[in-house]
Amino acid sequence: MNCVIQDWQGKEAGKASLDLKVAKETSAADLIHRAVVRQLANARQGTASTLTRSEVRGGGRKPYKQKGTGRARQGSIRTPLRPGGGIVFGPKPRSYELDMNRKERRLALRTALMSRSEDMVVVKAFGDKLAKPKTKEVLSALERWGVPAGSKVLMVLADISDNVRLSVRNLPQLKLIAADQLNVFDLLNAQKLVVSEDALTKIQEVYGNG
């Protein structure tokens, strides 16, 4: 993948390349899909819990006698057929974790990253111009780099400084992430990727060895 490097003012400042092994075209979609499903499933807490009829408080006394009332026989007011009763087959705490071997996870990540080459903006010396935290400066820079206003942006940096972190924390559509902590969902969920030149080198070092 070859891309143009822009400076802080949005002018061309050189060329950059990224060489990563990706999955075959026939299996790429399935691999990335499994990686995304795994990531979202592993993020679930699995703490939902309901009470069965044996766990609901009360219901120890038979509500009325067995015969002679003309009504259906009942042994407890906590039956699932009554309001306030137990839940049949309700959720209980469980783990939603899915397995995927390390080579497949890294291959899916590389494939997802390379598939976003057309939406990637590479910036030289990112954050050096931020002498102090300034959200307006970041918004102006995004506009100069050709990022449409309101777009979901994933900003990938090799080293995240306090000035950059404080400048972007009030932007709900922008997510800041370190180059060695990439994940498939964020790469695919963003509409634009803003990557610093140092981060591109870091990505090649971390993920280029397979």
DSSP codes of every residue in 92-143: ----------HHHHHHHHHHHHHHTGGGEEEESSTTTT-SS--HHHHHHHHH
The total of structural domains in the chain comes to 2
Q: Are residues 7 and 70 in the same domain?
A: no
Q: Are residues 64 and 126 in the same domain?
A: no
Beta carbons of 44 and 94 less than 8 angstroms apart: no
Domain harbouring 132, CATH code: 3.40.1370.10
Q: Are residues 91 and 105 in the same domain?
A: no
Q: Are residues 194 and 147 in the same domain?
A: yes
Q: By residue range, what is the domain housing residue 72?
A: 45-95
28 CB burial (10 A radius; 0-12, 13-18, 19+): middle
Residue 210: per-residue pLDDT:
60
Q: Are residues 159 and 109 in the same domain?
A: yes
Residue 99: per-residue pLDDT:
94
* pLDDT tens-digit profile, the chain (210 residues): 888 888 888 788 888 888 888 889 899 999 999 999 999 999 999 999 999 999 999 989 999 999 999 999 999 999 999 999 999 999 999 999 999 999 999 999 999 999 988 889 898 877 677 778 888 988 988 898 888 888 899 999 988 888 889 988 999 999 999 988 999 999 999 999 999 888 888 998 888 776
